[in-house]
A and B are shown apart, each in its own frame.
Chain A
Amino acid sequence: MHEMALVQNIIDIVLQEMDKYEVEKLQAINLAVGRMSAAVPEQLQMCFEILTTDHKLTGTKLNIRMVPVTYKCWECEKEFTSAGITFTCPFCESPNPEIIFGRELKIESIEVVD
């Protein structure tokens, strides 16, 4: 359960950005979370709710975009995505394709109340 630590980092970064853009209230925070990262979206939501009680970010929505795992084959150099882990290239059946996306833990954007 390291989601609490991740959410604390998210809040710190978002508060910095709000300061930078002189924003008082946020509608939403948009995250990209790779399926190969060790973060669980439901737990991120729960921790966010706990850590933003009576807070500048109370009521701000946390949108989580799950990023599928994208592989690149060493052999035929084709790229493909997979819902889970895979160990063979679906095109040439070479073993152990490289993971190029799916490890991210990123804040992509914040949305300001218009």
Chain B
Amino acid sequence: MKIPVVRNILEVNDRIADQNRAIFESSNLFVINLMSSPGAGKTSLLEKTIEKLKDRLSIGVIEGDIQCSFDAERIAKAGVAVTQINTDGACHLDGNMIREAMNQFDLSALDLLIVENVGNLVCPAEFKVGENVKAMILSVTEGDDKPLKYPLMFQESSALVINKIDLLPYVDAKIETIRDNVAKLNKDMAIFEVSCKTGEGIDEWIAWLEKQVDQAKK
């Protein structure tokens, strides 16, 4: 005998993420979920972002890593509130992990909460954490074919930071190819070309982020 069920496998995570969202909204807080493969520059982008914005916005960071707290130590040095989640092997953050971590902050005192996800171009795309927007980083050393190889991540994210553009002379990846491939998957994606090393292009990313925070506050 067959019994119809028709339930979404991710329903529990989606429900917790929606509850997180409601809590963030009641605190008037903008939340961004930052994703990329390992080594693309998530923490470096955060350091630059914090440096530019910390006088104007009150920022909190949730660091997700499988092990260790190197990233959280880097962020703490940058001078903002930070909490480390160690997933002990899990390849992504989920709504429940964020629920526990967010209680470490005085949410009403924050304007912007940045969630740095576990480095991975696949799994984090399936798990909402309660964010306003997802953003991702692709570094030019990873190659310009990545949007087509990992389409879900590029479809789910609202913004793409192309990092390490200072290395373009030394790699085969072309910015135009990345842009063309992204346009096929997500024509509304905001794209920023930056080098966290030299600081080039960071201001455009900062302007976009600030605008998102302002719009959410209205």
Contacts and interface: CB of A to CB of B under 8 A. Distances in A.
B90 interface: yes
Given A96-B184, A106-B6, A111-B2, A2 B151 contact: no
B6 A2 contact: no
Report whether over half of chain B's contact residues are helix, strand or loop; otherwise say mixed: mixed
Contacts of A12: 12
Given A10-B9, A107-B6, A111-B2, A5 B94 contact: yes
A17 interface: yes
Nearest to B92: A2
A85 interface: yes
B127 interface: yes
Interface residues of B, number: 30
A82 interface: no
Contacts of B1: 111-112, 114
A41 to B, nearest CB: 13
Interface stretch (B31-39, B118-126, B206-214): B118-126
B125 to A, nearest CB: 6
Interface residues of A, number: 33
Contacts of A114: 1
Contact of B9 (A13, A96, A109): A13
A108 B5 contact: yes
Given A1-B91, A6-B9, A38-B122, A21 B184 contact: no
A6 B10 contact: yes
A39 B10 CA distance: 12
Contacts of B10: 6, 9, 105
B61 to A, nearest CB: 23
A114 B2 CA distance: 10
A106 B7 contact: yes
Interface of A: 1-2, 5-6, 9-10, 12-14, 17, 21, 23, 30-31, 36-39, 85, 87, 95-96, 99, 104-112, 114
5 contacts: A2-B91, A2-B122, A31-B9, A106-B7, A109-B5
Given A36-B152, A85-B151, A105-B126, 15 more contacts: A1-B91, A1-B123, A2-B127, A5-B90, A37-B126, A38-B126, A39-B126, A85-B148, A96-B184, A96-B187, A105-B8, A105-B9, A107-B6, A111-B1, A112-B1
Interface of B: 1-13, 90-92, 94, 122-123, 125-127, 148, 151-152, 155, 183-185, 187
